[in-house]
Structure 1
């Protein structure tokens, strides 16, 4: 028995229960993201964007990446990244320089101040993830959350590629 409404092309629209689960999921992930953002900013004076850039650069060979590669790694449009890097550069967290291999491209380098800011932020950020996410779930729920995230990402990636 379903109370789904037929949609276009004969596909069923979500049921009331499916919509309730969807809303719970979206509202909870938004609240989680908001609280993680707040703690990162309060405890570390970094935005989630700052942290994503610093993490990618700290993991990169020689602590530097071409700006196009950095945009790909963190999943941002290049124009958004460019504006954000300007703000980070003014704060001394990163430095941009012309690419030796390609004068049309720029290399983004992690500065010592950026490395220190990332290092100072790592423990508080990981602690917040544990407190707000990991500790709220049983081991089984954590596995299920990983499976759900993987299924959603796989579907979204396939739709983007197709």
Structure 2
């Protein structure tokens, strides 16, 4: 059994997947019930193999039963390689990575401070510090000012 056949055994989600089924479909096992049958991950799943004496299946064992992609799955006819024989369906299920473009990404991008200030509702210049070393003092002063404008400080009712 290959990955495509195994994946095809899972039902398609239906609009009634999370409601009670009735009539002829009462005993039907939908995607929701199949997903509930999968074991819950446990803390030791990442470091210990499945224990043979457990009363319930563990996730590591259940995942091991699924087929994995093979090195020849790219030769299924879904690629543009003309001289590769067709042998599987994984390439039709997984999108082929486009070949155009560079292998490296552009230099790291940063958000425009004016955009961030507008998005967050901060005053203009709120994020513009001349030096990181001196950034804390103006930030703290601005934060106190903004909080006082929002009336976030407790006020004595007798003084008001």
TM-score bracket, shorter-length normalisation: under 0.3
Give the structure with the larger helix fraction.
1
Rg larger in 1 or in 2? 2
Relative contact order, higher structure (CA 8 A, sep 6+): 1
TM-score, scaled relative to structure 2: 0.22
TM (normalized to structure 1)?
A: 0.22
Could you say which structure has the higher strand fraction? 1
